[in-house]
């Protein structure tokens, strides 16, 4: 047997010193190690999953039936929003002076289909003064500033257009029309655009539209309630045998349906690990626990950010607010809460909550705290402010604060899931054995089924573009 010579070093043990006790490295071979279960740094509080009331969806689909909403005559155009896709309600085109009293529903639907969705970043121009007007813009979301050059060359701010407004309507009638002001996006803005060429093409094909354009007239306002729903005719305060009005409650003809979404992964464990290394902890169980934690994190991320049903995309446009000065001021929180009855909680990124705290301190306010599920959390007006690290923060260090009313009985936001599925491990989550491969690898399919629904628009509100990097003295 040959023995390799090792170079001497300052850290080498002194071979001449006699060892008087057992070395710890050798002792560990005979000792039972006290160990923890596998840990995971990616686990968050997941307040949204804990606070949402979960409704059983036995058929995999949940339909939200609503009363027909149609706001006509108020000068503001109403849109249908499905996820991130926006479409103008054809009948709402009558809000344009040009199309008031136009009765051909088929032509209105065809005209609505010709609008294209466009996005503008803050500072981008929609139109420039003195340039030809060749496009009609319907403002679905955001703010647009109207700017004009003053008498001495200064730039004057004429006003701000917000959700539901429109500009460029006169350009559909005349190729000679020009913009009287510059339109600039003040925030991230979503518009639906219709070119004069597309409008004229449809008018050439439709005798009814062509005749109407030549002599359009205004129509009286349709009676609606403050929520934009068709009014229910009632009588009150009358005496004697007064003739009572007749009425009915109309419903949406195409209600929104939510299908359960899924988050899945395949967990693989070698059979040798499962056979030989299962004491004192079951290897498959520990692998499964961490995998489920990751799936639940993804589930909450989707409930916030999914373009079809995520809360950031599901909020109605008239329930989206902009902060007054950038940072999350107490006045902004008051306005956000006041937009709905019974706000159950506010949801914000931890860094946004820190920014809220800075504004409180700056103003000398010391809000109270409340206890939620055994944890003490900050609150404003007794509405708990819960952390959610799934709410994104932009490169400009802005984020959003979400206000939620929950519950099916309260016409709020609800979570959707189906329990009792095959091989269920947790409610709405199952683990299915997929077999053993030729390489002795055991596979398990882990699936979580979920979605969320907003029953009425005012159940969900968002304070957008909150500046969380505004450090002031």
pLDDT at 312: 93
Provide mean pLDDT across the span 313-337: 85
Among 298, 304, 307, residue whose Cα is nearest residue 447 = 298
Taking the C-alpha atoms of residue 357 and residue 355, their distance in angstroms, rounded to an integer, is: 5
Provide mean pLDDT across the span 190-204: 90
22 pLDDT more than 70: no
pLDDT at 223: 56
Among 463, 302, 469, 453, residue whose Cα is nearest residue 380 = 463
Least confident of 2-11, 44-53, 226-235, 245-254: 2-11
Pairing verdict, β 345-348 and 383-387? parallel
Provide, rounded to the nearest whole percent, the portion of the chain with pLDDT above 90.
42
Higher pLDDT, 171 or 57: 57
Task: Please count the CA atoms within 13 angstroms of the CA of 434 that sit on its side-chain side.
Answer: 17
User: Other CB atoms closer than 10 Å to residue 288's CB: what's the count?
Assistant: 17
DSSP run (H or E) holding 46: none
222 pLDDT more than 60: no
Name the token pair of 258: 């939510």
Higher pLDDT, 73 or 377: 377
Taking the C-alpha atoms of residue 87 and residue 79, their distance in angstroms, rounded to an integer, is: 6
pLDDT at 72: 43
Question: Which residues make Cβ contacts (< 8 Å) with residue 455, sequence separation at least 6?
Answer: 64, 66, 408, 411, 412, 413, 414
- In DSSP terms, which residues pair with 417 in a beta bridge? 56
The per-residue pLDDT for range 89-103, each reduced to its tens digit, is: 888 888 887 887 788
Taking the C-alpha atoms of residue 351 and residue 390, their distance in angstroms, rounded to an integer, is: 12
Higher pLDDT, 144 or 73: 144
Question: Which residues make Cβ contacts (< 8 Å) with residue 51, sequence separation at least 6?
Answer: 344, 345, 372, 386, 404, 406
For residues 68 and 252, the answer to whether their CB atoms sit within 8 Å is: yes
Average pLDDT over the chain, rounded to whole?
Answer: 84
Provide mean pLDDT across the span 311-334: 85
**What is the pLDDT confidence band of residue 142, given thresholds at 50, 70 and 90?**
confident
* Residue given tokens 């628009």 in the structure block: 457
Least confident of 185-189, 300-304, 391-395: 185-189
Higher pLDDT, 361 or 255: 361
3 pLDDT more than 50: no
144 pLDDT more than 90: no
Alpha-helical (H) ranges within 159-263 are: 196-205, 207-214
The per-residue pLDDT for range 258-280, each reduced to its tens digit, is: 999 999 999 998 888 888 877 78
pLDDT at 73: 46
pLDDT at 55: 95
Least confident of 144-158, 326-340, 372-386: 144-158
The per-residue pLDDT for range 430-459, each reduced to its tens digit, is: 999 999 999 899 999 999 999 999 999 899
16 pLDDT more than 60: no
231 pLDDT more than 70: no
Higher pLDDT, 81 or 11: 81
Determine the longest span between alpha carbons in the chain, in angstroms.
121
To the nearest 10 degrees (0 to 180), the angle between helices 196-205 and 105-113 is 150
Provide, rounded to the nearest whole percent, the portion of the chain with pLDDT above 70.
85
The per-residue pLDDT for range 25-37, each reduced to its tens digit, is: 766 666 667 778 8
Provide mean pLDDT across the span 286-297: 93
Provide mean pLDDT across the span 7-15: 49
6 pLDDT more than 50: no
Taking the C-alpha atoms of residue 441 and residue 120, their distance in angstroms, rounded to an integer, is: 51
For residues 229 and 205, the answer to whether their CB atoms sit within 8 Å is: no
The per-residue pLDDT for range 82-136, each reduced to its tens digit, is: 778 889 988 888 888 788 778 888 889 999 999 999 999 999 999 998 899 989 9
For residues 45 and 347, the answer to whether their CB atoms sit within 8 Å is: no
Pairing verdict, β 460-467 and 441-454? unpaired
Name the token pair of 445: 């399919």
Cis peptide before 96 (omega within 30 of 0): no
**Which of the listed ranges 20-24, 221-225, 244-248, 420-424 does the model predict with the highest average pLDDT?**
420-424
């Amino acid at each position: 047997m040959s023995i390799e010579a090792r170079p001497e070093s300052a850290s080498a043990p002194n071979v001449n010193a006699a060892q008087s006790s057992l070395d710890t490295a050798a002792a560990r071979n005979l000792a039972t190690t006290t160990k923890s279960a596998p840990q995971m740094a990616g686990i968050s509080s997941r307040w949204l999953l804990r606070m949402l009331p979960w409704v059983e969806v036995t058929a995999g689909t949940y339909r939200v039936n609503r009363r027909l909403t149609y706001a006509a005559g108020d000068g503001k155009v109403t849109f249908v929003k499905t996820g991130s896709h926006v479409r103008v309600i054809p009948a709402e085109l009558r809000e344009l002076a040009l199309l008031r009293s136009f009765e051909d529903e088929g032509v209105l639907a065809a005209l609505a289909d010709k609008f294209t969705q466009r996005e503008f970043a803050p500072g981008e121009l929609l139109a420039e003064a003195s340039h030809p007007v060749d496009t009609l813009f319907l403002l679905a979301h955001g703010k647009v500033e109207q700017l004009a050059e003053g008498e001495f060359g200064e730039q004057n701010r004429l006003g701000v257009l917000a959700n539901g407004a429109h500009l460029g309507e006169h350009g559909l009638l005349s190729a000679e029309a020009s913009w009287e002001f510059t339109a600039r996006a003040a925030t991230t803005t979503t518009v639906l655009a219709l070119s004069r060429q597309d409008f004229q093409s449809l008018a050439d094909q439709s005798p009814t539209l062509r005749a109407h354009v030549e002599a359009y007239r205004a129509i009286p306002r349709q009676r609606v309630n403050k929520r934009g729903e068709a009014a229910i005719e009632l009588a009150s305060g009358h005496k004697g045998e007064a003739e009572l009005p007749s009425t009915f409650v109309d419903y949406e003809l195409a209600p929104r349906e939510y299908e359960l979404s899924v988050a899945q992964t395949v967990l693989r464990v070698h059979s040798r690990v499962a056979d030989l290394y299962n004491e004192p902890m079951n290897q498959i169980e520990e692998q499964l626990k961490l995998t489920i934690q990751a799936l639940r994190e993804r589930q909450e991320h989707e409930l916030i950010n999914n373009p079809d049903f995520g809360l950031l995309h599901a909020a109605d446009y008239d329930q989206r607010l902009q902060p007054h000065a950038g940072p999350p001021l107490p006045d902004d929180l008051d306005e956000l809460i006041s937009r709905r009855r019974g706000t159950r909680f506010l949801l914000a990124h931890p860094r946004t909550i820190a920014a809220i705290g800075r504004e409180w301190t700056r103003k000398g306010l010391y809000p109270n705290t409340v206890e939620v599920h055994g944890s003490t959390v900050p609150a404003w007006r007794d509405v708990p402010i819960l952390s959610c690290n799934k709410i994104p923060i932009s490169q400009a260090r802005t984020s959003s604060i979400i206000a939620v009313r929950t519950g099916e009985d309260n016409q709020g936001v609800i979570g959707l899931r189906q329990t009792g599925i095959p091989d269920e491990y947790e409610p709405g989550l199952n683990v299915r054995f997929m077999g053993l491969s030729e390489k002795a690898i055991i596979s398990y399919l882990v699936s979580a089924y979920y979605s969320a629904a907003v029953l009425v628009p005012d159940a969900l509100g968002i304070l957008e573009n909150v500046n969380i990097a505004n450090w002031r003295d």
